[in-house]
Amino acid sequence: MSPALRVGGLLPLTTLDYPGQLACVLFCQGCAWRCRYCHNPGLICARGEQETPWAEVLAFLQRRQGLLEAVVFSGGEATLQAGLPAAMQQVRALGFKVGLHSAGIKPAALKRVLPLCDWVGFDVKALEEDTALITGVADSGRANWQSLELLLASGVDYECRTSVHWQLSDCRRLQRLAERLAGIGVQHFVVQQVRSQSMLDAGLGPSLCPPAAAALWPYLEQLFPRFSLRSA
Ligand code: SF4
């Protein structure tokens, strides 16, 4: 029997985290990367200070049957937990759609759960060669991009998104990233400007969008069938 999923937080209702669905979000505990702009640093440790027992999560979901449409497994990095496939199966058996937020930290772990997902919000950190500057982990770029290719090959509905902190990126890099994504067939790309209020790296200052970005957004719009820009 797989270990119970470790859930560090629960958002009972959202319309933003799974497009078009009334969903709740389970913030799964633990992550192997250390993105400087991470706005959920309390979820990085494998064990959280305030975990919700899985039995309580299931009881909550049973009370929401017929009211919520989907459950999103977010993080941290949910795919690192051995208990994720069983948890997804239980959620699906209750009649909910299954959403996943992932950066594909371990491609094999993402591949294992893709057949259980209805939708994935996939975080592409940066160009493969630049990813370690964001995550602090060597070879993270290879894992991130291998996982993206697995997702695209799976046929599972998705949104591919990149969080931008303007001290860690610039318009030229973002344009090259977008062109590479379009080149491998990404159909739906979202740029999210990082929330700078609570970040793992307290030394990272506010993220100030450069004036040149105004010319970049129309270019990205014509590069993808679906493109959107989200503010912090
Ligand atoms: S932003 Fe980075 S460090 Fe934070 S949970 Fe996501 S992958 Fe992990």
Q: How far apart are CA 71 and CA 50, in angstroms?
A: 20
| pLDDT more than 70, % of the chain | 100
- The tens digit of pLDDT for each residue in 71-110 reads 999 999 999 999 999 999 999 999 999 999 999 999 999 9
What phi, psi does 116 have (nearest 5°)? -100, 0
Q: What is the pLDDT of residue 232?
A: 57
Is this model's pTM higher than 0.95 or not? yes
Structure tokens at 206: 């506010």
Return the best residue to mutate from 29, 31, 131, 140 for the ligand 1 pocket (most ligand atoms within 8 A of CB).
Answer: 31
Number of folded domains that form the chain = 1
On whether residue 1 sits in a domain, the answer given is: no
Check pLDDT > 80 for residue 231.
no
Range of the domain at 102: 7-230
On whether residue 179 sits in a domain, the answer given is: yes
On whether residue 75 sits in a domain, the answer given is: yes
Q: How far apart are CA 222 and CA 128, in angstroms?
A: 23
CB proximity list for 20: less than 8 A, separation 6 or greater:
none
Structure tokens at 225: 């069938």
Lowest mean pLDDT among 99-103, 186-190, 191-195: 191-195
CATH number of the domain that residue 20 is part of = 3.20.20.70
- The tens digit of pLDDT for each residue in 108-143 reads 999 999 999 999 999 999 999 999 999 999 999 999
On whether residue 112 sits in a domain, the answer given is: yes
On whether residue 2 sits in a domain, the answer given is: no
- Mean pLDDT in residue range 55-84: 97
Q: How far is the CA of 133 from the centre of ligand 1 (A)?
A: 13
Lowest mean pLDDT among 46-50, 59-63, 126-130: 46-50
Q: What is the pLDDT of residue 49?
A: 85
Q: Identify whether the C-beta of residue 18 lies closer than 8 Å to the C-beta of residue 156.
A: no
Q: Does 40 contact ligand 1 (Cβ within 6 A)? A: yes
Q: How far is the CA of 125 from the centre of ligand 1 (A)?
A: 10
- The tens digit of pLDDT for each residue in 195-224 reads 778 899 989 999 999 999 999 999 999 999
DSSP H or E stretch at residue 28: strand 23-28
On whether residue 74 sits in a domain, the answer given is: yes
Return the best residue to mutate from 26, 44, 165 for the ligand 1 pocket (most ligand atoms within 8 A of CB).
Answer: 44
On whether residue 198 sits in a domain, the answer given is: yes
